[in-house]
């Protein structure tokens, strides 16, 4: 059976940064990229707040560069999904793609978070046929058409602004009477003439036919119902951590985020470290994820030296 010192699960800024540090420390890490190689940033447009890029950088480009940096120091980057893991004793055992078992002296979990959906049956029916959680991936299909974005946070505003540059009209469906996004983002949304914000509205149903989405039925908090005609329905209502694999094996908080010892990446299982959005419900930035990847690799190195 294959045996490695460090197994890194996940390939966002946290996983790749952990890989850079672990490789440079001669720990010969093996990194599995997971379901979404490069993580959430591969579905982002411009990143203007990562230090060192005065002109900004595209998400996919930044992830490709981080990947190249990890490769440069010898990280063994593999495509594959860790489908099972046993953290009950060391060495830990992970099964990849339900067929290949690997033993690891330590594990860095950087599996990130995934988009949430509303949970409507009609939303599931039209997923991939007008329903999407990624405007930058799918917005192109709705050029010059009308679309809706659900949510009132920074992600929803960012998605609405992106779509407004392509589409005829963008409705923002916001359940509260205000936006939760940063002031700067709100201002940009309010200043965009083809974005209409429908405050205090919830989605009752996504409407469509065999071709895909044609509209949405919304209900205002006063009970009145409105139908909007749209071709695309975009979700931007937050994320949930990708921790299903670890349930019952390490301490998670009520929302499923991995609990770490404050100021470290140490989880409740000795030899298992967590980095990035999977343990961070608060900051969730590329730079904080990268920083926590560095911390995880340093904690891991110290653990292995013991
Ligand atoms: P947030 O949790 O900040 O916002 C989620 C939004 O979705 C809220 O408006 C929330 O409403 C709404 N929502 C949640 N559940 C439902 C539901 N079931 N039905 C309808 N609406 C719902 O998530 P984001 O992804 O926007 O942001 C996460 C973090 O990432 C934040 O800290 C944000 O600042 C950061 N971020 C920063 C960016 C940047 O700096 N450029 C870009 C994107 C994100 P309610 O307010 O009522 O709870």
Q: 11 C-alpha vs ligand 1 centroid, how far in Å?
A: 23
Distances in Å between the Cα of 215 and the Cα atoms of 131, 162, 240, 289 are 11, 20, 27, 37
Residue with tokens 């505003």: 157
Atom of ligand 1 nearest to the CA of 282: 32
pLDDT computed for residue 45 by the predictor = 65
Q: 28 C-alpha vs ligand 1 centroid, how far in Å?
A: 37
How far apart CA 256 and CA 99 sit, in angstroms, is: 27
**Which residue has the least CA distance to atom 37 on ligand 1?**
154
As given in the structure block, the two tokens for residue 185 are: 């983002």
The pTM score is 0.79
As given in the structure block, the two tokens for residue 137 are: 């991936």
What are the residue numbers of the active site? 134, 137-138
Contact 126, 208 (CB under 8 A): yes
Q: Ligand 1: list residues with CB < 6 Å.
A: 118, 150-156, 158, 175-176, 180, 237-238, 284
How far apart CA 110 and CA 113 sit, in angstroms, is: 9
| DSSP bridge pairs for 104 | 4, 92
Which of the listed residues 135, 150, 151 should we mutate to test ligand 1's pocket, taking the one with most ligand atoms within 8 A of CB?
151
**Which residue has the least CA distance to atom 16 on ligand 1?**
237
Atom of ligand 1 nearest to the CA of 283: 32
How far apart CA 205 and CA 57 sit, in angstroms, is: 37
**Which residue has the least CA distance to atom 23 on ligand 1?**
238
Contact 297, 17 (CB under 8 A): yes
**Which residue has the least CA distance to atom 28 on ligand 1?**
238
What are the helix (H) ranges across the chain? 13-24, 59-72, 121-125, 135-138, 154-164, 183-190, 286-305
Q: 87 C-alpha vs ligand 1 centroid, how far in Å?
A: 33
Phi, psi of 102 (to 5 degrees): -135, 140
pLDDT computed for residue 128 by the predictor = 83
Q: Which residues, other chains included, contact 52 with Cβ-Cβ below 8 Å and sequence gap of 6+?
A: none
Sign of CA dihedral 86, 90, 95, 101: negative
How far apart CA 44 and CA 134 sit, in angstroms, is: 8
**Which residue has the least CA distance to atom 25 on ligand 1?**
238
b/e map of 176-191 (b: 16 or more CB within 10 Å)? Answer: eeebebeeebbebbee
Which of the listed residues 117, 123, 155 should we mutate to test ligand 1's pocket, taking the one with most ligand atoms within 8 A of CB?
155
Atom of ligand 1 nearest to the CA of 157: 26
pLDDT computed for residue 48 by the predictor = 80
Atom of ligand 1 nearest to the CA of 284: 30
pLDDT computed for residue 51 by the predictor = 95
Atom of ligand 1 nearest to the CA of 151: 7
How far apart CA 197 and CA 143 sit, in angstroms, is: 20
| CA–CA–CA angle 68, 72, 74 (5° rounding) | 115
Would you write out the chain's pLDDT as a tens digit for each of its 306 residues? 999 999 999 999 999 999 999 999 999 999 999 988 998 888 766 788 899 999 999 889 999 999 999 999 999 999 999 999 999 999 999 999 999 999 999 999 999 998 899 999 999 999 889 999 888 778 988 999 999 999 999 999 999 999 999 999 999 999 999 999 999 999 999 999 999 999 999 999 999 999 999 999 999 999 999 999 999 999 999 889 999 999 999 999 999 999 999 999 999 999 999 999 999 988 888 999 999 999 999 999 999 998
């Amino acid at each position: 059976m294959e045996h490695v010192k460090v197994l890194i699960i996940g390939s966002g800024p946290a996983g790749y940064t952990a890989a850079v540090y672990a490789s440079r420390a001669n720990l010969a890490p093996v990194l599995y990229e997971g379901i979404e190689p490069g993580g959430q940033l591969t579905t982002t447009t411009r990143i203007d707040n990562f230090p060192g890029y005065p002109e900004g950088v595209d998400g996919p480009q930044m992830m490709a560069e981080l990947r190249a940096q990890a490769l440069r120091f010898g990280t063994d980057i593999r495509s594959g999904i860790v489908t099972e893991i046993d953290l009950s004793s060391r060495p830990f055992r992970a099964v990849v793609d339900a067929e290949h078992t690997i033993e690891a002296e330590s594990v860095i979990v950087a599996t990130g978070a995934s988009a949430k959906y509303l949970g409507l049956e009609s939303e599931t029916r039209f997923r991939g046929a007008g329903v999407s959680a990624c405007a930058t991936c799918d917005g192109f299909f709705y050029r010059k058409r009308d679309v809706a974005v659900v949510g009132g946070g920074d992600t929803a505003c960012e998605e609405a602004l992106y779509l407004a540059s392509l589409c005829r009209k963008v409705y923002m469906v916001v359940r509260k009477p205000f936006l939760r996004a940063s002031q700067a983002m709100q201002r940009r949304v309010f200043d965009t003439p083809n974005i209409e914000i429908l405050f205090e509205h919830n989605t009752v149903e996504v409407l469509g036919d065999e071709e895909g989405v044609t509209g949405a039925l919304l209900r205002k908090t006063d009970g009145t119902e409105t139908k909007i005609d749209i071709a695309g329905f975009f979700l931007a209502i937050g994320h949930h951590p990708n921790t299903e694999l670890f349930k019952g094996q390490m301490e998670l908080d009520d929302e499923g985020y991995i609990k770490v010892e404050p100021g470290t990446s140490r989880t409740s299982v000795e030899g298992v470290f967590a980095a990035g959005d999977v343990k961070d419900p608060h900051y969730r930035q590329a730079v904080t994820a990268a920083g926590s990847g560095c911390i995880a690799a340093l904690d891991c190195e110290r653990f292995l030296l013991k």
